[in-house]
Chains A and B, each alone.
Chain A
């Protein structure tokens, strides 16, 4: 089966510019996650979707971050405006069901803010 697909793989922007990341989960996976991974650290959850509903967005910085999952399949994560501290790898994952189920990760988008 095809894995989780993310694009772009790399993005370099100047601070205060907007940026968007796209994720296509594994077919049939109803749960989708966005994580941020800083260098030398483990991933930190930003938002979790069950189908098209955001069921856990408590760690999403809502002043500048937004996400959507139209039709419960693909998802986009947006940052506007980007700040220097947003430089990180943004990972998307999907699973069948949420509670304790194995998560399948994409290869991430590496964001660099100049």
Chain B
């Protein structure tokens, strides 16, 4: 059983569309991070959220941490081909003081021009 469930697993959209990807768990996280990974490269950190209900914006990307710190979402407005990549959420379990980062399986996003 995957500790962090990401949905959808695959998403293919046209340039200019909006999208939301989700990261859900039954466990409470002390912090949650979102990464983007491109082929042949390692994941690159986009944002860290630590407070329940927290919302962070990074240009066209909006990240939200659930009130109970068990889930998170990533919303992209007006997607561009450069947004194409594998989006990974990763959480530090509260029960282990966040010392181990657990990754979801990722959402593969393709933005077509």
Residue positions of A touching B, CB distance < 8 A: 4, 33, 40-45, 48, 55-56, 91, 93, 98-100, 102-108
Interface residue B44 (Cβ < 8 Å from any Cβ of A): yes
Kindly identify, within residues 66 to 113 of chain B, every residue whose CB is under 8 Å from any CB belonging to chain A. Answer: 88, 90, 92, 97-106, 108
Secondary structure type dominating chain A contacts: loop
Interface residue B30 (Cβ < 8 Å from any Cβ of A): yes
- Which residues of chain B are within 8 angstroms of A4 by Cβ–Cβ distance? 42
Contact assessment for B42 and A45 in the assembled complex, using a CB-CB cutoff below 8 Å: no
Contact A40-B105, Cβ < 8 Å, known A45-B100, A56-B99, A102-B33: yes
- Which residues of chain B are within 8 angstroms of A43 by Cβ–Cβ distance? 43, 88, 103
Contact assessment for A107 and B98 in the assembled complex, using a CB-CB cutoff below 8 Å: no
- Which residues of chain B are within 8 angstroms of A108 by Cβ–Cβ distance? 41-42
15 contacts between A and B (CB under 8 A): A41-B105, A42-B4, A42-B90, A42-B103, A42-B104, A43-B88, A45-B100, A55-B99, A56-B99, A93-B42, A100-B30, A100-B48, A100-B98, A102-B33, A108-B41
Contact assessment for A103 and B101 in the assembled complex, using a CB-CB cutoff below 8 Å: yes
**Shortest CB–CB separation between residue A19 and chain B, in angstroms?**
19
- Which residues of chain A are within 8 angstroms of B92 by Cβ–Cβ distance? 99-100
A98 to B31, CA, bound (A): 12
- Which residues of chain B are within 8 angstroms of A33 by Cβ–Cβ distance? 101
- Which residues of chain B are within 8 angstroms of A106 by Cβ–Cβ distance? 42
**Shortest CB–CB separation between residue A75 and chain B, in angstroms?**
15
A4 to B99, CA, bound (A): 20
A4 to B48, CA, bound (A): 20
